[in-house]
Chains A and B, each alone.
Chain A
Amino acid sequence: MKKAIATMLSLAFIGVTHLEAQGRALKTATYSIPGSCGECRKRIESAASLEGVKTARWDAATRRLTVNYRPAKVTPDAILRSVAYAGFDNEKYLAPEAGYRNLEGCCRYEREPVVKAGKPDDHAGHAVIAPGREEPRKTQEPSVAPKHDDHRAAQEKAENGISKVYERYFQIKDRLVKDDGPGAAAMADGFLEALAGVKMEVMEKKDHDAFMKSLAQMRSSATTISGTKDLEKQRRAFSSLSEGVYPVMKQIKPVYGVYVDHCPMYGKGKGANWLSREKSIRNPYYGASMMTCGKVTETIR
């Protein structure tokens, strides 16, 4: 008898806890989210921390986000959407362009090229890589050849090697944006190497002329950048390098869109230009001190 009562009581108790557990039940789910640094972690976790999410942890080593959430209050769909708006593609949602572009350099992950809708032979929306879409940033040593050239760029322009020169130019710029003198010097080495690898013989006459016209300037300013770790000197030389690269890029257009940015303040008001694949301003002449100074004056595409 006693036993029976005890059983009943415990059953009732289990029933109650079960009910309680249902109301506040937590679920755990894990998603693969790209990224590589502490900054990404902050962004991913804060985007995932919607109301009803108890914990959100992203592990840089495994690139996995683990969320502990209350299904009654929030859906995995809403969490993944929020993470995508913060710039991170995931299994369910792909980030909008601007969200991706606003990511810190180290958070830029390799994105699959976005294929616009429609058949490739359809001129209204043929398969192109969306302009402005940033290719993944190199963080390795410069001696490692960039292996993720834009696919189309690789196909069309590989024969003359100019796309590697552009790639290196953007890498120098990115280092200057980060106030990374040694990095910029190393990338300038890579630039010179790429410059030497350009096959002028396969170029059309117009392209060749434009390239030859700028070659000396590009070479000398890149040499200056590679020979010093002084950011001041590098930036002065970078201004000249940009002037050299610009006419070449205008003639031999990359398949992606390029923005010509202008910083009116540099050189005591003389101003300076630079080229960028991103629309948002990330000023290489001032780096962290005045990151967003400047504006886009032209688009090459």
Chain B
Amino acid sequence: MFSTLFILPHCLGAQRTVRYDLYVTDTVVNYTGKNVRGIAINGSIPGPKLEFTEGDTAAIYIHNRMHHETSVHWHGLILPNEQDGVPYLTTAPAKPHSTHLYKFPLKQSGTYWYHSHTMLQEQSGLYGAFIIRKREEPPMQEHTLLLADWTDENPHQVERSLHNATDWYMIRKNAAQDYGRALMEGYFGTKLVNEWKRMHAMDVSDVYYERFFVNGRIEDSARFNPGKKARLRVINGSSSTYFWLTYGGGKITVVSSDGEDVGPVAVDRLIVGVSETYDVIVDVPEKGIAHEFVATAEDRTGRASVWIGEGRRQLAEPLGRLKYFEGMKMMNGMMTVNMEMKDMGMNMGLQQMDMNAVMYPEAAQEKDRAHGAHEGHGASPSITTLNYAMLRAKEKTTLPVAPIRTMTFELTGNMNRFVWTIDDKTVSETDRILIRKGEITRIVMINNSMMRHPMHLHGHYFRVLNGQGDRSPLKNVIDIMPMETDTIEFYNSGYGDWFFHCHILYHMMSGMGRIFTYENSPPNAQVPDKEKGLKKVYADDRRFYSAAEIGLESNGSDGELRFASTRWLLQTEWRLGLDERKGYESESHIGRYLDKKQFLLGYTGWDYRYRNPDDESGRNIFGQANTKDRRGVFCAGLIYIFPWFLEADLRLDHTGNLRLQLTRDDIPLTARLRGWGTVNSDLEYGFGMRYALTKYFSLSSHYDSDMGVGAGITITY
């Protein structure tokens, strides 16, 4: 009797419910001297670290104090589908000025995190660490490092700019790969071939970030007992930045990935993909010296660090700037003119061969040293870099014996239009993928795009088939580099809809993902109208992005407005003269991209031009009469982007007139100077240049066979 009484409270303790209250508010932050909008949780960015013990039940109240809805996704957690936090797909959104309760039991331990899954809110600050400790864990000093990237620019503007192939971020990064620089550095031919293969430039990331943070600071420090070991829980909570981790005080011993323990493996550095987590153990220096644990952005435009130890601070070796033209040369070799990647039979996978190494200055130095190292592979024996093949689970991870369904996903994308897809289709362009409880889903992923993608599966662990047999590691995010092929598999043991997507948020929002749906799932009370909910989910990648280029020059105004989505383009352009003789003209089109690579656009539209009396009506090169006065025509045509970005526009109007126009825009002459030229079969031509002063304003000048010479400013939106 007594013993029962004793055990009872103990049992209650084991199933305790841990409650957190998160107040989400709009806020104003100032990281760079500029006040900008942000989103805070309980007044801070990032949000508070939530701590639990395995077996607890988490009860988290989201008090949305904003004027717009929100959601929270519990990244990496195995939980009931309706708690997953993908608004309209699995969970009801937290409406403005209301409270939403998330409640779920914790069946795992490790390092996880949470973030908004609503539009681009995560970028603005809605994220935090989620730590679950083991029941009986030997105590060890530890520190959580939540990494993030920050731009003062509104994330929606960033997204819009990316969809319009802005080169402003490259200018900010000092990474513009223009012809001038190519010429000076002896890579002119490389640049020419690169553009011939219809690639604009070479980079490892899309966005320029003003700041990189660890726990919301550029520099953090951790209080540890000197001379002992310490566990660092590293979470990459950035919106699109991979981080290199290096430590000045010795090896980094990786003990866990995505919350799951792996056999300790000591490395000199590792890259953390967007949304991945790693637990590492480092040596804390003796008193008197502090070593720097550095997270360097993959594009090396910035870093954040944590000082380990107390005393004089030994600066870690900074990672040098990327050698972009070397990367471009490598890309030229890998890419066919039709934008298909060829891996030259190298069977790449599991991050084992980092082709970007050709761009690392430290790799070049190491290569010189590494006697007889295989040319071009950046193999550097003295620096051990973690890759997925080195991860070995602590325990057996074999799945129950069950039927296996294998699917192949090709990761695809159009860099120039910023359309990111799987098998050339967005989430909204495909049906949900039905899976059956009790089966194994195996996915072979091939990255045929030019960027790496951290692919994340909600609510499940997958095994990464990395050659470790029954100790293949469990993860919920896998980074796939260009040209790599990786295979993952997971046991279907739930119900409902589970998102699988690229965790670079701008890629996800453009449609790079799929939804897995369990057959015969029970209805979800949080999403009562499934069809309506799906429409909301699909709306994310069906959006149109606007763009404008407006020239205000001494010879008149030229301009263009565009609205583009994944497949459609609405466009209107105009040329306004300053007097009647110069007249005006306008062309408006609606078009659709017809091929997979989006080089071919078919369109139809309406043109009108007006020019006063004594017009020089002439003949085009096809011998057809061609008046420019009060000419209004319907037309239909095709635009094809040839190698070297030569845009050919062939069209026929309702009067039977044929026009062929060749244009090349945005020739990068120097970092900020762009040239362009155009000529058509009506014997009109023009050429000009513009010099980017800011993201939106350029000085410009051009000559046009109709309007003459002009100079002024061009506004690019």
Contact = CB atoms under 8 A, between A and B. Distances in A.
Contacts of A85: 315, 318
Interface in A100-130: 114-119, 122, 124-125
B329 interface: no
A297 B371 contact: yes
B313 A117 contact: no
B245 to A, nearest CB: 16
A296 B282 contact: no
Nearest to A98: B317
Interface stretch (A18-26, A87-95, A222-230): A87-95
B314 A296 contact: no
A85 B285 CA distance: 21
Contacts of B266: 124
Contacts of B251: 124-125
Q: Which bracket fits the contact residues of A?
A: 20 to 34
Contacts of B291: 117
A98 B246 CA distance: 15
A299 interface: yes
Contacts of A95: 315
Nearest to A281: B368
Contacts of A125: 249-251, 283
B562 to A, nearest CB: 41
B315 to A, nearest CB: 5
Interface in A251-301: 259, 279, 295-299
Contacts of A114: 289, 314
Contacts of B382: 299
Contacts of A295: 368
Nearest to A118: B283
Nearest to B312: A94
A84 interface: yes
Nearest to A97: B317
Contact of A94 (B250, B308, B313, B365): B313
B282 A117 contact: yes
B369 interface: yes
Contacts of A115: 285-286, 289
Contacts of A122: 283
Interface in A164-223: none
B253 interface: yes
B284 interface: yes
A212 B309 CA distance: 48
Contacts of A94: 289, 312-315
A119 B249 contact: no
B313 A298 contact: no
B253 to A, nearest CB: 7
B286 A96 contact: no
Interface string B202-219: 000000000000000000
Nearest to B320: A98
Nearest to A99: B315
A118 B316 CA distance: 17
Interface string B282-299: 111110010100000000
A235 interface: no
A91 B289 CA distance: 11
A103 to B, nearest CB: 15
B309 A117 contact: yes
Contacts of A91: 312
Interface in A64-90: 81, 84-85, 89
A116 B250 CA distance: 6
B312 A296 contact: no
B467 interface: no
Contacts of A259: 369
Interface string B251-284: 1010000000000001000000000000000111
A117 B314 contact: no
Contact of A124 (B250, B286, B318): B250
Nearest to A114: B314
B368 A296 contact: yes
A81 B365 CA distance: 25
B283 A124 contact: yes
Contacts of A299: 369, 382
Interface in A3-41: none
A81 B316 CA distance: 11
B378 to A, nearest CB: 16
Contacts of B316: 96
B186 interface: no
A296 B371 CA distance: 8
Given A93-B315, A117-B283, A117-B284, 20 more contacts: A84-B315, A93-B313, A94-B313, A96-B248, A96-B314, A96-B316, A96-B317, A96-B318, A98-B317, A114-B289, A116-B283, A117-B282, A117-B286, A118-B227, A118-B250, A119-B227, A124-B250, A125-B251, A296-B368, A299-B369
Interface of A: 81, 84-85, 89, 91-99, 114-119, 122, 124-125, 259, 279, 295-299
14 contacts: A81-B315, A85-B318, A91-B312, A93-B313, A96-B248, A116-B250, A117-B227, A117-B282, A118-B283, A125-B249, A125-B250, A125-B251, A297-B371, A299-B382
- Per CB-CB distance, the 10 closest pairs between chain A and chain B, nearest first, are A117-B283, A125-B250, A118-B283, A117-B285, A117-B249, A94-B314, A296-B369, A295-B368, A96-B315, A125-B283
